Copies of this chain bind each other. A is one copy, B any other.
Amino acid sequence: MSTSTISRLRSKSAHKNHKKATARPKLVPKPASKTKKDVQYVYFFGAGKADGHGKMKDQLGGKGAGLAEMTNAALPVPPGFTIQTEACREFMRTGKTSSGVSQQTLSALARLEKLQGQKLGTGDNPLLVSVRSGAKFSMPGMMDTILNLGLNDESVQALARKSSNERFAYDSYRRLIQMFGSVVLEIPKSAFEEVFDAEKKKRGAKLDTDLTANDLKQVIVDYKQVVRKHTGKDFPQQPLEQLTMSRDAVFRSWNNDRAKVYRRINNISDDLGTAVNVQCMVYGNLGETSGTGVGFTRNPATGAKEFYGEFLMNAQGEDVVAGIRTPVHISELHKLMPGVYNQLRDITSRLEKHYRDVQDFEFTIQEGKLYMLQTRNGKRTGRAAVRIAIDMVNEKLIKPEEAIFRVDPNQLYDYLMPNLDDKGGDVTVLTTGLPASPGAAVGQIVFTANDAVKMAGTATDKKPVVLVRGETTPEDIHGMEVAAGILTARGGMTSHAAVVTRGMGKCCIVGAGEIEVDEKKKEMRVGDLVLKEGDWISLDGTTGRVIKGRLNTVPASPDDPDLKKLMGWAEPFRKIGVRANADIPRDAVTARAFGAEGIGLCRTEHMFFAEDRIPHMRAMIMADTLEERKAELAKLLPMQRADFEGLFRAMDGLPVTIRLLDPPLHEFLPKREELMVEIGKLEITDPQSARLKEAREILRRVEELHEFNPMLGLRGCRLGITFPEISEMQSRAIFEAAVNVAKEGKKPMAEVMVPLTVTIKEMANQAAIIRQTAEQVFKEKGAKVHYHVGTMIELPRACIVADEIAVEAEFFSFGTNDLTQTTYGFSRDDIGTFLPAYVERGILKNDPFASIDQKGVGALMEMGVKKGRKTRPNIELGICGEHGGDPASVEYCHKIGLTYVSCSPYRVLTARLAAAQAGAADKLKVEGGRTK
């Protein structure tokens, strides 16, 4: 496993309790910071005793807390001190370091010098330190580090003498200048690299290590020149100046672009700040008995209980990371230095037991002596998380009710999706878009849905295709169905492409803005590169990487005994139901296999886009009279009925919530602008053609239905009220299907759902049609079935008048996609136009379409819950849509007392675990309360 893969692994524990930790700052602006004499800014650690301890991550960051804890446990940790996060926050507020921080830094340094019997950068045995960032949550490589601090023109000579290794000393010095130059003085790295490469060329050196001490002395002279040229000043020779400047640079690095992006992706608050760790240097590059390495107490990819890691002898940490030399498997250390190896195994085992979780550690061996530089809970894949949790229960390290919290519900997706295997081979990342739906897709590019169908071929001769579009629309659904993956240039995390593919469990990357898609020319451009239809492309839905060419994938295996075991522990805690959104029987079967307890949302409109149906749908919309409309609807009726029969059969005994037609009608018609262009062209080329006449006629109706903001137009129940015959036909199809399936001996449980109501009158109007149709069908068929009539609550007004609507509605299902759109006034299809600026400027931390905005949208939901229950105490309350599969949202739905959540079939596992965790958290709190 490469270092970059390790850094990508996610840890559940790092995210636990996160919400509480990132509570909003107080509303009232903070007073200007003063020197708070009584604040402890600096925490010392060394000689078996630390001021802090492992639970002080808020103040000391993960690294600082780990160092303190290890010191207290008498582990071999180079001594030093941690400047706590409050100092960073002060720095961010005021732009400078307060005198309190400065004074305490000096005192701690003095204490360190006394303990070591050295002076920073001074004397025959100069003290050298590292200055490293360390935030509460691990942000690997995002912030800055400075090593070898304390070296200058004099102390480098002392180091050379003391180490008897002149080359080592001067190499350390040039590294300091380079790191300090780029990090503290913000000189482009390239300026130093040019100097170094020139020296290597001059000396005919292939490797860095081919340069001699004298060569490095020349590099140092040139480096200092670079510093002078870029800053107008000399490289600071005063060790204390080096230290204070480095400390402040680390504070500043909290807000570099990398760090900000990482925090956004990982949902870490910008307000936390980083701690700074100042620690005595130890050197892994002092010869053949020195070395450095990283490791895990268990395999973070598979979860196997095996000591896992890699190291390099005679090397510094950055050499491992840089990949210049290939690291060696940790087992080799046993052969080379069995004593050190056993000590490391012993220490890390103790650490794992102490923290009761897998540890990710860093160590250095200096002249045969082992030093621990870091330990933290290790990030791991979903499969590894499950495996480790189960193993640790078996090992009696943790209890089953703890184990269920050791897996991030989102990680269960690993069980469902194939992954891109990007080891080996040429990985050319073309661009990175939004990772809308995870997994991997490898296939040949197509640019239209029809081409996708054509190129994908038949079931017996299937070819993988990747559909690349500007954006997708419901009319692309057949192409999306056959594609291995979807890539769009526009759209956000809840765009059509994103929503549909997540429902399909299909890899999708959206909003890859650097891509230009020319559907006419059938090509896409990324910068100068042009890819044409048929070219191979690989999508990594987990990271959003778009990769040129044909990579391999690693298939998924959802039926896993580990998973079953964990879910077996989790399920008894779950209080809230989990249903799935499914429009076709196949999805329903899948959902049920994943444990769905019903269908929470069947979008009937998806049934109308099929090839054999859309002509009737179009004809229905184009009809000028009620009679014509009814005739077309009559043709659609048997098809709808068959759909519903399939769903009722698949869900025998479980509720099936069917939403009446919802989208704007023009979605079913040809695009307005395309018609206009066609007409414009025909007027020139063939003004007498029948097609021109026809196109004009179609355009007339399209214009009538054209809306400026279709999201807020003729859709939802407004359709069923304007064209009652549609609601009637759909109700008839539902009830005929239910009666037919009931006659087969099955138990259909229909819940008919009216979309987009805002008044009781809308609800009453549609409920009357539905109930009358039901009675009619029951009379005709001579049989009855049980059913409910309810509504989606998806507009702010519906929440406000929920007490009225509940008079007619037997159930509510919160449609938080639309509710979020209207509460914020954000169109989820258009949010891409301003989201980048919002994220960059820190205005919107989380995408409210990904996770429920509890403060805003939640306030309306809670109003809806309260008012709905007031009128109808036993009302069934659900949520359908994207949020139903988001763990934080599921937890919230549990908290506000919904009856169930509904999500895409491929999120059912995630929702079940999230719901179980929410229930367990409640229960354990209560039990804790009882026992204490």
Q: Which of these, B683, B761, B818, B830, contacts A710 with CB under 8 Å?
A: B830
A827-B713 in contact (CB<8A): yes
Chain B neighbourhood of A27, CB < 8 A: 760, 803-804, 807, 871
A830-B713 in contact (CB<8A): yes
- Which of chain B's residues has its CB closest to A818's CB? B825
Distance in angstroms from A276 CB to nearest chain B CB is: 27
A859 interface residue per 8 A CB criterion = yes
A825 CA to B681 CA in the complex, in Å?
A: 37
A833 interface residue per 8 A CB criterion = yes
A765-B711 in contact (CB<8A): no
Distance in angstroms from A670 CB to nearest chain B CB is: 13
A579 CA to B35 CA in the complex, in Å?
A: 49
A787 interface residue per 8 A CB criterion = no
Per-residue CB contact flags for chain A residues 109-135 toward chain B (1 = under 8 Å, else 0) read: 000000000000000000000000000
Chain B neighbourhood of A859, CB < 8 A: 800
Chain B neighbourhood of A800, CB < 8 A: 823, 855-856, 859-860
A27-B803, A712-B711, A758-B856 given; A823·B795 CB < 8 A: yes
B677-A759 in contact (CB<8A): no
B824-A795 in contact (CB<8A): yes
A709-B830 in contact (CB<8A): yes
A801 interface residue per 8 A CB criterion = yes
Stretch binding the partner chain, chosen from A250-258, A327-335, A840-848: A840-848
Q: CB within 8 Å of B: which of A795-817?
A: 795-797, 800-801, 803-804, 807
Which of A705, A833, A838, A856 lies at the interface centre, i.e. has the most chain B CB atoms within 10 A of its CB?
Answer: A833
Q: CB within 8 Å of B: which of A845-899?
A: 853, 855-857, 859-860, 871
Chain B neighbourhood of A829, CB < 8 A: 707-709
A29 CA to B859 CA in the complex, in Å?
A: 29
Stretch binding the partner chain, chosen from A96-104, A427-435, A439-447, A714-722: A714-722
A672-B673, A673-B672, A758-B856 given; A707·B830 CB < 8 A: yes
B765-A843 in contact (CB<8A): yes
A762 interface residue per 8 A CB criterion = yes
Q: Which of these, B685, B833, B860, contacts A713 with CB under 8 Å?
A: B833
A821 interface residue per 8 A CB criterion = yes
Chain B neighbourhood of A827, CB < 8 A: 707-709, 711-713
Distance in angstroms from A718 CB to nearest chain B CB is: 4
Chain B neighbourhood of A797, CB < 8 A: 823-825, 853, 856-857
A684 interface residue per 8 A CB criterion = yes
- Which of chain B's residues has its CB closest to A804's CB? B27
Distance in angstroms from A818 CB to nearest chain B CB is: 7
A341 interface residue per 8 A CB criterion = no
Q: Which of these, B716, B796, B853, contacts A856 with CB under 8 Å?
A: B796
A680-B680, A844-B759 given; A834·B804 CB < 8 A: no
- Which of chain B's residues has its CB closest to A473's CB? B708
A500 interface residue per 8 A CB criterion = no
A818 CA to B712 CA in the complex, in Å?
A: 12
A789 interface residue per 8 A CB criterion = no
Q: CB within 8 Å of B: which of A750-774?
A: 756, 758-762, 765
Per-residue CB contact flags for chain A residues 55-75 toward chain B (1 = under 8 Å, else 0) read: 000000000000000000000
Distance in angstroms from A330 CB to nearest chain B CB is: 46
A761 CA to B824 CA in the complex, in Å?
A: 14
A23 interface residue per 8 A CB criterion = no
A722-B830 in contact (CB<8A): no
- Which of chain B's residues has its CB closest to A716's CB? B825
Chain B neighbourhood of A679, CB < 8 A: 677
Q: Which of these, B28, B721, B822, B837, contacts A834 with CB under 8 Å?
A: B721
Per-residue CB contact flags for chain A residues 693-736 toward chain B (1 = under 8 Å, else 0) read: 00000000000010111111110101001100000000000000
Distance in angstroms from A393 CB to nearest chain B CB is: 43
Chain B neighbourhood of A680, CB < 8 A: 677-678, 680-681
A676 interface residue per 8 A CB criterion = yes
B759-A712 in contact (CB<8A): no
Chain B neighbourhood of A721, CB < 8 A: 834, 837-838, 841, 843
B822-A761 in contact (CB<8A): no
- Which of chain B's residues has its CB closest to A666's CB? B833
Main secondary structure of the interface of A (DSSP, over half): helix
Chain B neighbourhood of A677, CB < 8 A: 676-677, 679-680
Which of A679, A680, A705, A857 lies at the interface centre, i.e. has the most chain B CB atoms within 10 A of its CB?
Answer: A680
A925 CA to B672 CA in the complex, in Å?
A: 58
A308 interface residue per 8 A CB criterion = no
Q: Which of these, B712, B824, B830, contacts A826 with CB under 8 Å?
A: B712
Chain B neighbourhood of A685, CB < 8 A: 684
Distance in angstroms from A203 CB to nearest chain B CB is: 44
Distance in angstroms from A701 CB to nearest chain B CB is: 12
A756-B673 in contact (CB<8A): no
- Which of chain B's residues has its CB closest to A496's CB? B708
B673-A843 in contact (CB<8A): no
A871 CA to B29 CA in the complex, in Å?
A: 12
Chain B neighbourhood of A841, CB < 8 A: 721, 761, 765
A27-B871, A28-B807 given; A824·B710 CB < 8 A: no
A707-B830, A830-B707, A834-B718 given; A843·B796 CB < 8 A: no
B711-A801 in contact (CB<8A): no
- Which of chain B's residues has its CB closest to A680's CB? B677
A711-B714 in contact (CB<8A): no
Chain B neighbourhood of A722, CB < 8 A: 833-834, 837
B833-A796 in contact (CB<8A): no
A762-B843 in contact (CB<8A): yes
Chain B neighbourhood of A825, CB < 8 A: 711-712, 716, 756, 758, 794-795, 797, 818, 822
- Which of chain B's residues has its CB closest to A805's CB? B27
Distance in angstroms from A476 CB to nearest chain B CB is: 15
Chain B neighbourhood of A683, CB < 8 A: 681
Q: Which of these, B672, B705, B801, B822, contacts A796 with CB under 8 Å?
A: B822
B758-A714 in contact (CB<8A): no
A311 CA to B25 CA in the complex, in Å?
A: 79
Which of A708, A710, A818, A821 lies at the interface centre, i.e. has the most chain B CB atoms within 10 A of its CB?
Answer: A708
A834-B714 in contact (CB<8A): yes
- Which of chain B's residues has its CB closest to A719's CB? B834
B860-A796 in contact (CB<8A): yes
Per-residue CB contact flags for chain A residues 337-374 toward chain B (1 = under 8 Å, else 0) read: 00000000000000000000000000000000000000
Distance in angstroms from A354 CB to nearest chain B CB is: 40
Chain B neighbourhood of A796, CB < 8 A: 796, 822-823, 856, 860
B714-A712 in contact (CB<8A): no
Which of A672, A673, A796, A834 lies at the interface centre, i.e. has the most chain B CB atoms within 10 A of its CB?
Answer: A796
A201 CA to B871 CA in the complex, in Å?
A: 67
A761-B843 in contact (CB<8A): yes
Chain B neighbourhood of A760, CB < 8 A: 27
Distance in angstroms from A871 CB to nearest chain B CB is: 7
- Which of chain B's residues has its CB closest to A674's CB? B676
Chain B neighbourhood of A765, CB < 8 A: 841, 843
A857 CA to B801 CA in the complex, in Å?
A: 11
Chain B neighbourhood of A826, CB < 8 A: 712
A821 CA to B796 CA in the complex, in Å?
A: 10
Chain B neighbourhood of A756, CB < 8 A: 825
A758-B824 in contact (CB<8A): yes
B856-A761 in contact (CB<8A): no
A760 CA to B794 CA in the complex, in Å?
A: 24
Chain B neighbourhood of A708, CB < 8 A: 710-711, 827, 829-830
A710-B708, A830-B713 given; A823·B824 CB < 8 A: no
Chain B neighbourhood of A794, CB < 8 A: 825
Would you list the 9 A-B pairs with minimal beta carbon distance, nearest first? A712-B827, A713-B830, A714-B833, A709-B827, A797-B856, A677-B680, A722-B837, A707-B830, A795-B825
User: Can you sample 15 A-B contacts with CB below 8 Å?
Assistant: A673-B676, A705-B833, A707-B830, A708-B827, A711-B712, A712-B827, A713-B831, A714-B830, A718-B837, A721-B838, A721-B841, A759-B843, A795-B823, A796-B796, A796-B823
Known contacts A713-B833, A759-B843, A818-B825; 12 further A-B pairs (Cβ under 8 A): A27-B871, A681-B683, A684-B684, A709-B709, A711-B712, A711-B825, A721-B837, A721-B838, A796-B822, A797-B824, A797-B825, A800-B856
